[in-house]
Amino acid sequence: MREFLEAVIRLPMPFIICAGLGLLFWRRPRLRRVLLATAALGPLVLGPPILGKVLLAAQLVTVSLRLPDAAPLAILVPTGGMYKVEDDQWWPSAASVERLSRGLALAERYGQAVPVVVAGGAPWPGAPAEAEILLAKVTSGNARIEIDSASRNTAETAEALRDRFPEARAATIVAATDRYHAARMAAVLRSAEFQPVIALSDKYRGLKVTFGDFLPQPEGLFLTSRALRAWFGLVWYLLHGKIAPEDLLARGPAAEPTTLGKP
C-alpha cells in the first residue's frame, strides 16, 4: 500500500491524473476547468527547485551531521535498492553503492574495531537480500563487515540493530545514507534508543540558493517529488507508531556536514 501511494504522489503523476480527469469530465465545464487548470499550473507552482530545497533542509535540521571524534558503536549502511538485468543478474542501485562507499570511508577513519553493519533484506518474496547483492558487487577491503539480511525497511533496520546491541543504551551509531533518507533513519535510531549521527553519502553540503531556483524546471519537479516522499515517509511512520514525535528532534547540536573521503 505504501509503495502504491508513493507512486501516486510522485510528481508529475498527480497532474497527469488531473488532466485525464479533466478530459473525462469534459461535459462538466466547471469541474473540467478546475482539473485542467490544476494540471497546467501545478508544475509551474511546484517546479521551482527552491520548494524542494526548503522542504529537504527543514528535515535535515532535525539531523545531527557532525561526525564524532570518538569511535561510534557501529557504522550502519542501509541499502538503497537493487535491480535485475538480463540472465537474472542482480545489481545494487547507485544509492546503495554510494552509501557503502561512505561507510567504508568511515571504517578507515575509525578503524577495524568498529563494525560496519550493512542492512538490507529481500524487498519481495523470492528476491535475494539487498545487503548480500551489494557486498557481492562492491569490494569492502579490510573493513569489519556484519550483514543484516533480514530487515526490509528503515524501521526493521533499527530494530535489528537494537537486537544486535541489546546492552548499548544511548550509544552513537553513525549511519551512512543520503539526504532524502537521513531524517527517517535518524528518527528510527532514536526510537531504538541510539544516538544517531548521519554521514551523508551524496554531495549535499547544505542549502544553497540561486536565482534559477525560483524558476520552474524539470529538476525542480524531481527535487520536490523526492522531498515530499521523504516527508510522506516520516508521516507514515508516525501514523503507524514506528516513531514518536520526539524522535524527530535531534538530541545534540546540529552542524554542517563533515566531508570524509569520496561521497
Res 12: pLDDT:
66
Res 8: pLDDT:
46
Res 1: pLDDT:
47
How far apart, in Å, are the Cα atoms of 252 and each of 54, 64, 122, 153, 241? 22, 7, 34, 25, 23
Mean pLDDT by 10 residues, the chain (263 residues): 49 72 84 80 79 92 92 96 85 95 96 95 91 93 94 96 89 96 96 95 84 85 89 94 91 45 35
The CATH class, in words, for 57-248 is alpha beta
Res 11: pLDDT:
60
C-alpha to C-alpha distance for 143 and 118, rounded to whole angstroms = 11
Radius of gyration over every alpha carbon of the chain, rounded to an integer in angstroms: 20
Phi, psi of 196 (to 5 degrees): -85, 145
- Ordered by start, the domain boundaries in the chain are 2-46, 57-248
**Residues paired with residue 91 on neighbouring β-strands, in sequence order:** 83
Residues with Cβ within 8 Å of residue 262, at least 6 apart in sequence: 101, 105
Res 7: pLDDT:
47
